[in-house]
Amino acid sequence: MYTTACSMGDKQEKLEAPMQQESSEIAAITEVWWDDPHDWSADMDGYGLFRRDRRGRRDGGVTLYVRESLDCVEPQISDDKVEFLWVRIRGKASKADILVGVCYRPPNQDEEVDKFF
């Protein structure tokens, strides 16, 4: 599932209902607009939360909710030029791992960042 939130502050229940109803394994969200790294209301039953808040400016940010039954890790990538988040989901038995990501390109992004993106 993918959505642009334009602030998750009051939309948690609107997101959670279709995820539970459709049994979504993963939800990718852009423009979450969280600015407090300890926003505990962001937790969702049955899902692990991975988030990357925008630094130095308001708005933006990306988030992935991944069903807890999936064995996953977040690779350590430290770059603040592009808003992105990756999660590696480990394959079961002889299956390969899957890399899932979400990224956001703000409309007013400069050309140098576009090239990096």
pTM of this structure: 0.77
For residues 8 and 29, the answer to whether their CB atoms sit within 8 Å is yes
Provide the β-strand partners of residue 52.
62
pLDDT 10s digits, 91-111 = 887 889 999 999 888 777 778
pLDDT in tens, 50-93: 888 776 666 778 889 999 999 998 887 766 677 888 999 988 87
Beta sheet of 26-30, edge-to-edge order: 2-4, 26-30, 62-67, 47-52
Taken in order of first residue, the domains within the chain and their CATH numbers are: 2-116 (3.60.10.10)
Question: What is residue 83's predicted lDDT score, i.e. its pLDDT?
Answer: 82
